[in-house]
Amino acid sequence: NATGVMKNPPDFIHLAIGCVIMAFAFSTIYSKWARGIHSISQGAQFGLWVGIMVGFGSGIIDYATSNLLDFQGALVNGLIYVVFNIIMGVLAAVIYKATSK
């Protein structure tokens, strides 16, 4: 495993920019996927699939191509991504439902 790869402190400007880009992309893709039906279960389902794609798909590809995590770490990280994206999906659904007429 690699050591000393995390920045301390993080580059907060680029972190914020990355979060805004991720939120905009996630929200835009969700709005197209939901097709006007904004429920908590729809948002959670969308977040689940994004989490599986990013967390497990990309995570296992990263495991196969780098030494940042062992396989168990890649799986735990994938699970964290799934939970995080389910929460994001639910929030997106709630916000879209509240702002749509």
Among candidate residues 85, 26, 74, 27, the one with its CA nearest the CA of residue 52 = 85
Are the C-beta atoms of residues 26 and 50 closer than 8 Å to each other? yes
Of 85, 25, 18, the closest CA to residue 54 belongs to 85
Taking only the tens place, the pLDDT of each residue in 35-93 is 888 999 999 999 999 999 999 999 999 999 988 889 999 999 999 999 999 999 999 99
Question: Within a 10 A sphere around the Cβ of 91, how many other Cβ atoms?
Answer: 17
Separation between Cα atoms, residue 89 and residue 85, nearest integer Å: 6
- Read off the pTM: 0.85
